[in-house]
């Protein structure tokens, strides 16, 4: 892999080699390219493997991925050829790319898959977690040219093209991931390698930041709807605040006999309570929780009413802020299906699915007094000690930063939905 520097002002190439990010091994300059530089300092069974019919404009025509700090990578077009901007983040895990693409929490983010081979199981109509792909861009090392799975209905490339998603393949995602681990998630752009890299860098640096971004209303349902219980008679009524909710979450609740009333992100606390719910669920979602004061105020109204609350991911952060805790942006976040978390009370270790770039700042030891009584940290991440859950001791509320519904990922934490059910039953 050859590294070069380019002046952001004039786009002039100067020979030289910037600091290397580890011992990067390139797959070669031909089909898999991957040069890096720095700038400015029924489920559709297919009897035969599905082959891409997308117009992948490109072959060897270059696509540039430009990072906010000036480093760039060149590869090939994947999905549609075009230009896109967002926060670049990496997701760990060998599987689950379809659920990742359709997770609303990835809104306005360019996702890098750390697994090198992506797309081999294709895409089907059953595994989407929302009605569309939400990522701003998609980055892979080696996309599969065929989809070989009895569940596959389309290739990943065709799906990206149909959704208008800009992507890049053939870059060394190991080098990119290590760069993000060392320097943090940052703004990024994908565009043609033929354009002036200095101009692309300038556009990246003027694109919106994730800090202060209020994104939940952009991906929330525009109108209320109901997910019926899977039982003949619903046992509980749950009001779910949709901050960017995945489909697997209400499905997990309905399986426990809950009738789930889903409300838009900006719904007030009174709107939630008008449903006379047995409990209120706070969903996952994108953006900075500090910008979602409307949700914080709604949750405080629910806490005042004594209605049980369960929050996950973004909902965990909203509950934390309602209790008086602060949130902050992680350096590179937790994203993927293989994140170990410890339950402090039991000592149990769970492998969990994560997707968050912000976290809660709370004392990990002991009990904290809040306007709603005593609160303690219930879960912590084993990789970095980040707070991963809160438990209220004087009001019926708890939350976790990870995804107990998985989709994708392991089901180690699925019992948290049963805990919510039991909490609602106890408050009747």
Active site residues: 313, 403, 405
Give the C-alpha separation, 378 to 391, whole Å: 6
285 marked ligand binding residue: yes
Question: CB 361: neighbour CB atoms within 10 A?
Answer: 11
* Cα–Cα separations (whole angstroms), residue 58 to 82, 116, 117, 141, 192: 11, 21, 20, 16, 10
Q: How many CB atoms lie within 10 A of CB 209?
A: 12
Let me know: does 392 contact 373? Beta carbons within 8 Å: yes
Query: How big is the chain, counted in residues?
Result: 428
- φ, ψ for residue 323 (rounded to 5)? -80, -10
Q: Establish whether 355 is an annotated binding residue.
A: yes
Nearest to 83 by CA among 164, 5, 10: 164
Tokens at residue 86, please? Answer: 């967002």
**With the C-alpha atoms ordered 1, 201, 206, 170, is the resulting torsion angle positive or negative?**
negative
Distance, in Å, from the CA atom of 421 to the CA atom of 183, rounded to the nearest integer, reads: 42
120 is in an annotated binding site: no
Retrieve residue 75's tokens: 């590869």
317 annotated as ligand-binding: yes
- Alpha-carbon torsion 73, 77, 82, 86, what sign? negative
**Strand 258-263 versus strand 279-282 pairing type:** unpaired
Q: Is 195 annotated as a binding residue?
A: no
User: Is 167 labelled a binding residue?
Assistant: no
Going by the annotation, the residues of the binding site for L-glutamine are: 105, 285, 287, 314, 317, 355, 357-358
Going by the annotation, the residues of the binding site are: 105, 285, 287, 314, 317, 355, 357-358
């Amino acid at each position: 892999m050859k590294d070069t520097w380019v002046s952001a002002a004039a786009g002039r190439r100067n020979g030289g080699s910037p600091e290397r990010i580890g011992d990067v091994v390139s797959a070669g300059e031909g089909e898999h390219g991957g040069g890096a530089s720095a700038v400015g300092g029924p489920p559709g069974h297919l009897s035969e493997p599905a082959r891409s019919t997308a117009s992948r404009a490109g072959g060897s025509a270059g696509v540039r991925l430009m990072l906010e700090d000036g480093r760039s990578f060149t590869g090939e077009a994947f999905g549609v050829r075009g230009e896109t901007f967002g926060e670049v983040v990496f997701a760990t895990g060998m599987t689950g790319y379809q659920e990742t693409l359709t997770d609303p929490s990835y809104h306005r983010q360019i996702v890098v898959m750390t697994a090198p081979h992506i797309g081999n199981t294709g895409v089907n109509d059953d595994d989407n977690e929302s009605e569309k792909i939400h990522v701003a861009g998609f980055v892979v090392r080696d996309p599969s040219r065929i989809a070989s799975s009895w569940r596959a209905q389309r290739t990943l490339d065709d799906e990206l093209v149909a959704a208008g998603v800009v992507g890049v393949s053939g870059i060394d995602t190991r080098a990119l991931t290590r760069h993000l681990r060392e320097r943090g998630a940052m703004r990024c752009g994908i565009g043609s390698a033929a354009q002036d890299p200095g101009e692309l860098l300038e556009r990246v640096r003027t694109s919106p930041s994730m800090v202060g971004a209020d994104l939940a209303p952009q991906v929330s349902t525009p109108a209320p709807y109901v997910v019926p219980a899977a039982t003949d008679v619903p046992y509980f009524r749950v009001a779910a605040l949709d901050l960017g909710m995945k489909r697997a979450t209400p499905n997990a609740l309905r399986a426990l006999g809950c009738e789930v009333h889903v409300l838009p992100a900006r719904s007030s606390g009174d709107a939630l309570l008008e449903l006379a719910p047995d409990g209120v669920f706070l969903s996952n979602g994108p953006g900075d929780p500090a910008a979602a004061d409307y949700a914080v105020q709604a949750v405080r109204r629910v806490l005042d009413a004594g209605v049980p609350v369960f929050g996950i991911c973004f909902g965990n952060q909203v509950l934390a802020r309602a209790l008086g805790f602060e949130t902050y942006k992680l350096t590179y976040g937790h994203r993927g299906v293989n994140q170990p978390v410890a339950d402090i009370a039991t000592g149990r270790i769970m492998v969990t699915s994560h997707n968050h770039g912000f976290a809660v700042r709370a004392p990990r030891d002991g009990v904290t007094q809040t306007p709603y009584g005593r609160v303690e940290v219930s879960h912590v991440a084993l990789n970095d000690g980040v707070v991963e859950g809160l438990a209220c001791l004087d009001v019926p509320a708890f939350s976790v930063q990870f995804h107990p519904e998985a989709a994708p990922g392991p089901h180690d934490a699925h019992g948290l939905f049963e805990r919510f059910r039991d909490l609602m039953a106890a408050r009747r």
